[in-house]
Amino acid sequence: MAALVCVALGGASGAVLRHLATASRIGGLGGTLLVNVVGSFVLGVLAGVAEALPAWLFLLLGTGFAGALTTWSALAVHTWRLGQDSWRRGAAYLTLTLGLGVTAAALGLALAWSLPSP
């Protein structure tokens, strides 16, 4: 039961932050890009220190917060809509999102691995 509470609390926070980012001046495309890159970084850091974290904290921040913050479905819809106007724009947005997301995750892992062990 405690695990579900951790996931729910983290998920609620991530979902609210995602809403704020996509409803802000940044807008749908930029907001989706931002939350996916930030979420990838957060998961990268957490993956790098996962063995040192209590399970509840990984559930709260990884599964809950980062899982709700990031959004595959919005990425798919934005890519499709951009592709309807120009396949190049759709491909560019998808490539940019995936490239920045993987880079952010790698930077998060590198940061976590550079931290001193507890």
User: Which segment, 27-36, 66-75, 88-97, is predicted with the most confidence on average?
Assistant: 88-97
State the pTM of this model: 0.87
Range(s) of the domain holding residue 106:
2-114
The number of distinct structural domains making up the chain is 1
* Average pLDDT score over the chain: 94
Q: What pLDDT, on a 0 to 100 scale, did the predictor assign at position 62? A: 94
For residue 13, what pLDDT is reported? 97
Residue 69: predicted pLDDT: 95
Alpha carbons within 13 A on the beta-carbon side of 90: 13
For residue 23, the model assigns a pLDDT of 93
81: CB partners within 8 A, 6+ apart: 90
